[in-house]
Amino acid sequence: MPEVAEHIVKSFEQELKRLRVLITDMGGMVESQVALACRAVIERDGDAASRAVEADPKVDATEREVEQFVIRLLALRQPMAQDLRQIVASLKITGDLERIGDYAANVAKRSLVLDQYNPYSLTGLAHMSGLVQENLKSIIDAIGEEDTDKALQVWRSDAVIDEIYNALFRELVTYMMEDPRNITPCTHLLFVAKNLERIGDHATNIAETVYYAVKGEALIDARPKGDTSAYAVIRPARD
């Protein structure tokens, strides 16, 4: 290979590597933001809440950085096949990570309101937040390692998160019915749970993107949607 061509190939590879590092760094930021937000709610940790909210602008800035980098890569190189899929995938993944960051910040904000109330049993929520964080960690590893098996595993395990969410939804609505003083905190907890469920969905989106980027074929057309809470009807006991 002529020396110049080799140099170009080498630096393109370095750029692709740099892109992957940018994205896994962003993933790490978002992962710790979600961990802080969950701690804020479950352990009533106001300091963690502030840190989760404050992390958001940096996550957003990284998304814009990736986008600029991608546009430069596309303009200066002529990536083909898998490289091209990888580059387009990175745009989609950062979009999902950015949304996860937004949801984490929203969870953290709501934890500040919850702080004004007596503690509930948050066992279900703690369980759910643990699973969501595991999935998030796995999918960020999967991005860095281009690991489609790990992606597939995340994609499959989202159904459990949805099930817990549905149970939590009913539980929280029942609490509300028991005492009107529960309504405000439980409403916020409903949104916290919904946000966690959405974070799980975005991890699933990323799993689909990783799979497509590596394999060149779609994981599936109809992902099982387990959140049935939109149809939930819970009647008050006295009704």
**Least CB distance from residue 68 to a second copy, whole Å?**
10
Mapped to the 3 state alphabet, what secondary structure does the chain carry? CCHHHHHHHHHHHHHHHHHHHHHHHHHHHHHHHHHHHHHHHHCCCHHHHHHHHHCHHHHHHHHHHHHHHHHHHHHHCCCCHHHHHHHHHHHHHHHHHHHHHHHHHHHHHHHHHHCCCCCCCCHHHHHHHHHHHHHHHHHHHHHHHCCHHHHHHHHHHHHHHHHHHHHHHHHHHHHHHHCHHHHHHHHHHHHHHHHHHHHHHHHHHHHHHHHHHHHCCCCCCCCCCCCCHHHCCCCCCCC
Pick from 120, 134, 187, 219 the residue near a second copy by CB under 8 A.
187
- Applying the rule CB under 8 A, the residues between 193 and 212 that interact with a second copy are 194
Pick 91 or 145: Cβ nearer a second copy: 91
Pick 21 or 232: Cβ nearer a second copy: 232
Pick 9 or 220: Cβ nearer a second copy: 220
Establish if 16 lies at the interface with a second copy (CB under 8 A): no
- Applying the rule CB under 8 A, the residues between 80 and 109 that interact with a second copy are 80-81, 84-85, 88, 91-92, 95, 106, 109
Pick from 66, 161, 190, 193 the residue near a second copy by CB under 8 A.
190
Binding site for a second copy (CB under 8 A): 57, 64, 67, 70-71, 74-75, 78-81, 84-85, 88, 91-92, 95, 106, 109-110, 112-113, 116, 173, 176-177, 180-181, 183-184, 187-188, 190-191, 194, 218, 222, 230-236, 238-239
